[in-house]
Structure 1
Amino acid sequence: MGIFTGMFKSRDKPENRTAGSAYTFYMGGTTSGKAVTERSAMQMTAVYSCVRILAEAVAGLPLHLYKYNDDGGKEKAIDHPLYRLLHDEPNPEMSSFVFRETLMTHLLLWGNAYAQVIRNGKNEVVALYPLMPNKMSVDRDENGHLYYTYYRGPDEAIKNMEFAVTLQPSDVLHIPGLGFDGLVGYSPIAMAKNAIGMAIACEEYGAKFFANGATPGGVLEHPSTIKDPQRVRESWQAAFGGSSNSNKVAVLEEGMKYTPISISPEQAQFLETRKFQINEIARIFRVPPHMVGDLEKSSFSNIEQQSLEFVKYTLDPWVIRWEQSIQRALLSHDEKVRYFVKFNLEGLLRGDYQSRMNGYAIGRQNGWMSANDIRELENLDRIPTEEGGDLYLINGNMLPLKDAGAFANTTDNDGKEENPDEEVLEVEEPGTDGNDAEGEDTISERNNRRRKLV
């Protein structure tokens, strides 16, 4: 055990920086001069829209706990205590939608999502409560085992050990985002804080531009000395400052001249810069631009495909993180063999009504979908089994190989026909009619020769 203990001790605790780098992945200052935090980033409409789209999408997906049957199939484990927690109500204070929406928001802003796991005396999970990621730290003890420290203080910026609570890994549902050590994730906001900081700066510039008037700042020139320049400046600002005074005609006296010293927003490509930053933020979260309101490169022919790609390449990786983290933290070792958690993405992958009906018709006609299978996908009531709701049908021209063509009349090894239910052709004995003449075959002989040919 000494060798393994030394190996675990040598493993570094999770850090928020790469090895040998002074650049940390915390929120903070940017090259644009604007401080970027999870809350200041959410004031950007593009960030707010991306976070809301992903959080609501994951929260709105049906989440079920399944168990394997003895015949290799699966069914919903409705009788398991965890089913109700995941599907309906993880705790008495919030619904499953709100719980998953909250944790997904944490995951997108901080890169980690935590929930406290409450268990009863039987070690069964009875409740799940979200925990703030910025109040949680992950560390290792002297034996290399992970433990979580949560700070309950009122000020989230100050981590006072007086309010610290130590939690074991079995007491925490931890969903990590993308990281470098596989233990903690790094915030997408912090990793792209320069791009978001530039977007904040552009937005602030636009706001100040309209607050100071449609024309940027300039210089009032007077041929002689002005006795009270402050009064002249305030008079000019009162008459022409602000968006409500834009495009007013200025009348200058005593030889005064106004000279603008800034270029126009069009020349500075201000609008193009703001638009590019919106696409940049959408790229961070891998959200299609049309979902945040940019329809420039979207059309009727490709917008459906973009929506399907959003489910496949954006939602699916997040959903897998959720599923595997839930199974790892909330299921016991024995339960992991029989139970599994699954989000249902079928509703988002469905096409329009006509496409769905055509697909159902193909499945029904080829025998791998019953009427009840189709009705369950369309959220319709089941047809009773005695009325044929669970029958699997095929087209009449599709038969098993043993019943097709010449194979239908072959015999097995015992000399019995493979199709005993078929009508047997009765033949008359030779000599009972005029067909038993010499040189002619009886019906029985012709039937026997046909079987031999096969």
Structure 2
Amino acid sequence: MASFIGRLFGGGGRAAAPVQEASGPPERKTSRTAALFAVSEPGRPLWTPRDYQALAREGFQRNAVVHRCVRLVAEAAASVPLLLKAGRREFDTHPLLSLIARPSPREAGTAFLEAVYGHLLVAGNAYVEAVSLDGTPRELYALRPDRMQVVPGPDGWAAAYDYRAGHSAVRFRQEGEVPPILHLRLFHPADDHYGLSPMEAAAVALDIHNASAGWNKALLDNAARPSGALIYAGPDGANLTDAQFERLKVELEAQFQGAANAGRPLLLEGGLDWRQLSLTPAEMDFAEARASAMREIALAFGVPPLMLGLPGDSTYANYAEANRAFWRQTVLPLVRRTAQAMAHWLAPAYGGGLSLDPDLDSIEALAGEREALWRRITAADFLSADEKREAVGYGKGDRR
């Protein structure tokens, strides 16, 4: 049993069994606008409208703020334990919990979820492949978003997914009780099939921050001072000869360019005069523009700037308050929507009626809130024991 990636790159193991077709009802309801969604030829793959490689390279790989934001959100979300329930009943052990805890022989559950959340934040899309045997999911794999294409069906919704790596490709048809691909995407107001990455919303701030870093590097490489012009005032308007020009150019590059030559005085002779052309960093308000760009990037990812050590942020009184806001406003909504999608996708293989929810009691950043809730509920003498259990999230007779 192996995923498409394992088969494509020579991984051994047993191939997944063919996905069984689900017997649908004789009549199917559909939206009256469904035909309008089919804006392309049915069965034709639609390429993602953005450059994932550029987002990954310019954002996650080259920008420290983006890198930290993605790591912070993905690692926090992947660390949240999930509770499996069927109605009010909570399961301590279950095949679905075991599958999420160990999705494949090569990967632990935390690493798998971190990859899923990371793809979602960088690309706005995340794809999970379920490898089934006898109709039961046995392994889960996070697939790269840049290799996946949506294949719309006659009604415009995804009927299949094409995954390409090099010259090889495989088509995953969305059939069976558990379709082979789960597509997670962030909301995009102008695209029916692909999600919007936070990096795209912060593209201007990201470019400003990267450009400012490049400007700093170039400044050090060019004598750590703004550029200017050497003006030659020769007798009777004469110009430098070719030999003089080349000699001057070589001397400037050898003796005054680079960080090692920063601050070296410039000796001018023969009617040469230096005039500064560019603005100084203070005149450009360089530092404030760079700090503002960093705050905008953090805002797009939902990370309080205080948690990144960014200057000039006074939104939260202290780090603990910023951390609580980070978990409540960014991490938990992401975990809930992902857990709900995975439960809806995989539950039919186990009889249905299952739900996945984050275990709030295990989140250290929210311990103060939970403690305050427990105190208030304990002090409410007008509530019965069962009512108190329900108020803090436990059902009657539940055992933790």
Structure-1-length-normalised TM-score: 0.67
Matched to 1:26, the amino acid is R
Count of aligned positions: 344
Partner residue, 1:65: 84
The answer on 1:27 being equivalent to 2:33 is no
Query: Any unmatched runs of 5+ in structure 1?
Result: 16-23, 29-34, 155-159, 378-389, 391-454
Which protein, 1 or 2, shows the higher relative CO under an 8 Å CA cutoff with sep ≥ 6? 2
Partner residue, 2:22: none
Partner residue, 2:329: 313
2:71 corresponds, among 52, 56, 59, to: 52
Matched to 1:96, the amino acid is G
1:64 counterpart SS class: strand
Q: Within 1, Cα distance between the matches of 2:371 and 2:205?
A: 45
Q: Within 1, Cα distance between the matches of 2:340 and 2:28?
A: 31
Partner residue, 1:171: 180
1:75 corresponds, among 71, 86, 90, to: 90
Q: Within 2, Cα distance between the matches of 1:3 and 1:296?
A: 56
Report how far residue 348 of structure 1 moved: 3.9
The answer on 1:341 being equivalent to 2:356 is yes
Report how far residue 364 of structure 1 moved: 5.7
Report how far residue 41 of structure 1 moved: 1.3
Q: Within 1, Cα distance between the matches of 2:233 and 2:192?
A: 70
Report how far residue 142 of structure 1 moved: 3.0
Q: Within 2, Cα distance between the matches of 1:183 and 1:151?
A: 15
Report how far residue 310 of structure 1 moved: 1.2
Quick one: structure 1 residues 62 and 14, their matched pair in 2 at CA, closer, same or farther if it must change by over 3 Å? farther
Q: Is the 8 A contact 2:231 2:275 kept in 1?
A: yes
Partner residue, 1:219: 229
Q: Is the 8 A contact 2:202 2:296 kept in 1?
A: no
What's the CA shift string for 1:135-155, capped at 9, x where partnerless?
21223323656323223322x
Partner residue, 1:279: 295
Q: Within 2, Cα distance between the matches of 1:175 and 1:67?
A: 23
Quick one: structure 1 residues 217 and 6, their matched pair in 2 at CA, closer, same or farther if it must change by over 3 Å? closer
Quick one: structure 1 residues 58 and 293, their matched pair in 2 at CA, closer, same or farther if it must change by over 3 Å? same
Q: Within 2, Cα distance between the matches of 1:188 and 1:11?
A: 28
What's the CA shift string for 1:212-259, capped at 9, x where partnerless?
122122122333243321211221222221122112222323343211
Query: Any unmatched runs of 5+ in structure 2?
Result: 1-25, 41-47, 393-398
Q: Within 2, Cα distance between the matches of 1:263 and 1:130?
A: 48
What's the CA shift string for 1:68-107, capped at 9, x where partnerless?
4xxxx432240x2111111x21111101111001011110
Partner residue, 1:41: 59
Quick one: structure 1 residues 306 and 369, their matched pair in 2 at CA, closer, same or farther if it must change by over 3 Å? farther
Matched to 2:171, the amino acid is V
Of 101-110 and 235-244, more deviation after overlay is shown by: 235-244
The answer on 1:127 being equivalent to 2:139 is yes
Q: Is the 8 A contact 1:216 1:260 kept in 2?
A: yes
Q: Is the 8 A contact 1:8 1:143 kept in 2?
A: no
Q: Within 2, Cα distance between the matches of 1:310 and 1:362?
A: 24
1:329 counterpart SS class: helix
Q: Within 2, Cα distance between the matches of 1:214 and 1:369?
A: 73
2:230 counterpart SS class: strand
The answer on 1:188 being equivalent to 2:198 is yes
Q: Is the 8 A contact 2:39 2:156 kept in 1?
A: no
Matched to 2:147, the amino acid is K
1:148 corresponds, among 149, 160, 183, to: 160
Report how far residue 267 of structure 1 moved: 1.1
1:163 counterpart SS class: strand
Larger radius of gyration: 1
2:65 counterpart SS class: helix
Q: Within 2, Cα distance between the matches of 1:163 and 1:362?
A: 58
What's the CA shift string for 1:371-420, capped at 9, x where partnerless?
xx9xxx9xxxxxxxxxxxx9xxxxxxxxxxxxxxxxxxxxxxxxxxxxxx
Matched to 2:51, the amino acid is M
Matched to 1:199, the amino acid is H
Q: Within 2, Cα distance between the matches of 1:4 and 1:299?
A: 49
Quick one: structure 1 residues 99 and 13, their matched pair in 2 at CA, closer, same or farther if it must change by over 3 Å? farther
Residues 42-441 of structure 1: matches in 2 within 5 Å? 42=60, 43-68=62-87, 73-78=88-93, 80-86=94-100, 88-121=101-134, 123-142=135-154, 146-154=158-166, 163-168=169-174, 170-180=179-189, 183-224=193-234, 225-227=239-241, 228-298=244-314, 301-332=317-348, 335-337=351-353, 339-346=354-361, 347-351=363-367
Matched to 2:180, the amino acid is D
Q: Within 2, Cα distance between the matches of 1:260 and 1:186?
A: 44
Report how far residue 334 of structure 1 moved: 7.6
% identical aligned pairs: 25
When the two chains are superposed, the root-mean-square deviation of aligned CA atoms in Å is: 3.4
What's the CA shift string for 1:239-295, capped at 9, x where partnerless?
221122112222323343211111211111112111111111111111100122215
Q: Within 2, Cα distance between the matches of 1:294 and 1:184?
A: 32
Structure-2-length-normalised TM-score: 0.75
Q: Within 1, Cα distance between the matches of 2:92 and 2:36?
A: 39
